[in-house]
Structure 1
Amino acid sequence: MHLITKEFLSYGVAVLRGKVIAAFLFAAVPAWAGEATILAFGDSLTQGYGLLDQQGLVPQLDKWLEDNGHKVRIVNGGVSGDTTAGGAARVDWSLTPDVDAMIVTLGGNDMLRGIDPAVSRDNLDRILAAAQAHGIEVLLVGMKAPGNYGPDYKAAFDRIYPDLAETYETLYFEDFFAGLGDAGPAEVQDYFQPDGIHPNAEGVKKIVAALGPKVVELVQNIQ
């Protein structure tokens, strides 16, 4: 399992940084008439940690969608080091009136900290409930817990995403890293930065290619 380890921020700092980022993005980028706006809501995997501006998840996904005939506005709502608790704390003010849909990718940092899956579930539930209250379409992107926490932890954590997707009737993508396939550790590491944790530009490209069709479904749901 590839988890975020290097750039963790304290809960309070992450929330504050998220507010600053969100305020800048939503104030500085005007809504594009006639185009749907999707909020990519996550942690450093969404934010694009360690990558050049056009190499991160959001710009690569935006280009993939455009190349496949779908012109949308994707807002980067990724905050490095964020947990599901941080996401739950900032979701309401992140869902500005121009947001039509949201991609939720949170939970990796919860796993690293060994947070009780019940707590992570409750936080993600709050995020999805907020989206529902705002009338926002959601694509929930799952994460897979590593086996070193034990089978009970893994089973409890892995069930969070499909259960909540069913409860809230959201679109669901099983695993953020699915695009990297089932290759052995040595081959998979070719798609990661030197930290062995965050995908490099080529890794993001593969992740986007796998995730993209599900995002197309999200776009179709709001158009």
Structure 2
Amino acid sequence: MSRTAHRFASRRRFLLGIGLLSQIAAAPRPPIVTVLGDSITAGLGLPARDAMPAQLQAALARRGVSATVRAAGVSGDTSGGGLARVGFSVASDTAVCVVALGGNDLLQGVEPSQTKANLRGVLQNLKGRGIRAILVGVAAPPAIGQAYVREFNALYPSLAKEFRVPLYANILAGVGGNPGLVQRDGIHPNAAGAKRIGEALAPLVAQVLKGPSR
């Protein structure tokens, strides 16, 4: 090969390399889905790979949807705790936030009106920052009392309508009360239960991700 031809080949390889690097740099990053919740979404008693956020990411991948699901669950958190930390637990690069709070409000007997006000504050924060939301509820057990159950269960669809966000009515639907899907405490999902929740949420999350941003 002549010296001129060698220089030409080297220059061509260099330009091809620059083009490849440009394509890599321009490749879009997967959108971020943040799960703001309590011990159920934090994966209490489970390794991170088996917890609901990881299961949701895997379920999205099986549907051909590329996304990074970020866990922002804190065991014991109430709706008030979620409101206090939404500004820093849900980073600004989040495309969609799954808001799954309220179970500990039930356990602590928080007034449904207060839970509703707290969740409204969370949704207002997300809306103000242009972050799309999905609201995930939890069903109040009948033993608490009919009036409380009625008011508590109504707050989730009411907020979903007010903010025009999708609602998944009960995070433990199909899981709670099933010995094969919960841990020994009878409350928290085991790996199979977390997978069931992730699979159930995936179609809704995929739909929101594919929709127009705010």
| TM score, norm. by length of structure 2 | 0.83
Select the residue among 133, 136, 143 that pairs with 2:138: 143
Q: CA deviation at 1:95?
A: 3.2
The secondary structure found in structure 2 opposite 1:74 is: strand
In 1: Cα distance, 2:163 partner to 2:137 partner: 14
Q: Residues of 2 paired with 1:51 and 1:118: CA distance? A: 32
Aligned residues: 187
Give the alignment's Cα RMSD to 1 decimal.
1.5
Deviations 1:5-29 (A, max 9, x none): xxxxxxxxxxxxxxxxxxxxxxxxx
Q: Find the partner of 2:175 among 176, 180, 189.
A: 180
Question: Structure 2 matches for 1:72-151, cutoff 5 A?
Answer: 72-151=67-146
**What residue number does 1:25 align with?**
none
**Equivalent of 2:192 in 167, 180, 202:** 202
Q: Give the structure-1-normalised TM-score.
A: 0.80
What is the identity percentage for the equivalent residue pairs of Structure 1 and Structure 2? 36
| Cα deviation 1:67-117 (Å, max 9, x = unaligned) | 110111111000000000000001122332211110000000000011100
Alignment check: 8 A CA contact 1:140 1:172 kept: yes
Structure of higher CA gyration radius: 2
Q: Sort the Cα spacing of 1:222 and 1:62 in 2 relative to 1 into closer, same or farther, 3 A.
A: farther
Q: Which runs of 5+ in 1 are unaligned?
A: 1-31
- Compute the displacement of 1:222 (Å): 5.2
Whether the aligned pair in 1 keeps the contact of 2:95 and 2:209 (CA below 8 Å) is: no
CA distance in 2, matches of 1:90, 1:209: 27
Which residue of 193, 202, 206 maps to 1:212?
A: 202
Give the drift of 1:33: 4.2
Are the aligned partners of 1:137 and 1:221 in contact in 2 as well (CA < 8 Å)? no
**Does the Cα contact within 8 Å between 2:59 and 2:202 map onto a contact in 1?**
yes
For 2:9, the equivalent position in structure 1 comes to none
Distance 2:197 2:91 in 1: 27
Provide the C-alpha distance between the structure 2 equivalents of 1:208 and 1:39, rounded to a whole number of angstroms. Answer: 13
Note if contact 2:55-2:199 (Cα within 8 Å) is conserved in structure 1. Answer: no
Aligned-pair CA distance for 1:174: 1.1
Distance 1:66 1:202 in 2: 17
Q: Does 1:70 align with 2:60?
A: no
Answering whether residue 31 of structure 2 is matched by residue 36 of structure 1, we say: yes
Gaps of 5+ in 2: 1-26
